[in-house]
Structure 1
Amino acid sequence: MSTQPTYPLMPHATASWLVDNTALTFEQISEFCGLHILEVQAMADDLAGQKYTGRDPLHSGELNQAEIDKGQANPEYRLKMQRAPISVSRTKGPRYTPVSKRQDKPDGIAWILRNHPEVSDAQIGKLIGTTRTTIAAIRDRSHWNISNINPKDPVTLGLCSQRELDALVAKAAKKAGYEDNGEAAIRLGTDRDALIEELRAERQAHTKAASDAAQEAEAAAWLAARRAEGLSDS
């Protein structure tokens, strides 16, 4: 039975710290944090749409220095989680949502209704912290502010974590009898491998171009020196 890989509690913040404080490759960091390699590269190039405050995985115990040293010594080495992140359990009762984010709830509800119809109203209410009346009003478009509701990912809005949403969707899909044939995972894996190969090819091309340029410059300098010697002899 295959086990689901364990990623850091805060993948983006951890990746940002590893980019700034280690010599690990983008591929090593992306695999350890469960991110796309291009996300990690964007962090390194300071092109990411959102800036993350680095989170030290050594302090949290998710990595130790010996494991990082192994990765830095061997680019093919895959980092191993030293201590699984501690998930924070929530007490029973309605979810508390900060006042500043409560106006985002309808957008998050609309997103779940559109993208995951298998999720029940009770599950949405528990995840987002809302009532079935509100969910029903958004579904049948009778909500008083329906014209201003735009479906948005509740994780992006900060209404729940990615782990909570994934667990909820998986539970709802299982209850509904949906089966995952693995095609999506295979497709994502293939695309990811293709991107990695493309990046490697680009690096090799840049290295070759730099080497060729250096050789040409060396040859030009040699010819110039020979010509100078010829002029001095004459």
Structure 2
Amino acid sequence: MSDRPLMPKATAVWLIDNTALSFDQIADFCGLHSLEVKGIADGDVAAGVRGIDPISQHQLTREEIEKGEKDEDYRMKLSKPKTIVAAPKKKAPRYTPLSRRQERPNAIAWIVRNHPEVPDSQIAKLLGTTKTTIQAIRDKSHWNSSNLEPQDPVALGLCSQFDLDMAVSKASEKRAAMEAAGKIDEGARLAPAAETEKADEDERSNAAPDIDKIFANFGGGGDSDND
């Protein structure tokens, strides 16, 4: 804390107008030269400056002023603040209980599948994970990718429904704004989870062998042998 009032000239104006202190006492308290204080009193310095009451600003007590008025050699002391304002603490990173950390990849997989529009930065903040892990789950390069089971992070207790809704809403609004600005082709929309799941099922169906055709071919081959 400074040993001088916050606005020395304005404080000097008030002390000159409202006390019987000497110019030297006011100059010492305000950190000014005594000739400067005399100039203020004469109107040659700080003309138009409105005085500030140091008592109401908790920078000086009435007792200190009275001591100074009684003794011209007394030098007033700046009041110390009674309340110390602590610096705001930084928000601590999201803490996830150890018992639930193993479920985090499943929660990431759920968000990636159901809300692909949510950026990695938002998912990382929401679940307390890293962008590297999220990207690995997105491109299925995660070490345990084959065993992941997408699960709702709210049901797992990794985040609140409100926080999840806010992240999804924010991502959707940002995407809509980008589409409106022409930065994203509206046709290149993100497919809903239901459509993605159906596409996966169709792909698996197409990849599976046609059992009826196999048996038909097998049977046909038998008939030709009998012939």
TM range (shorter): 0.3 to 0.5
Larger radius of gyration, structure 1 or 2? 2
Structure-1-length-normalised TM-score: 0.37
**As a proportion of its length, which structure holds more helix?**
1
Structure-2-length-normalised TM-score: 0.38
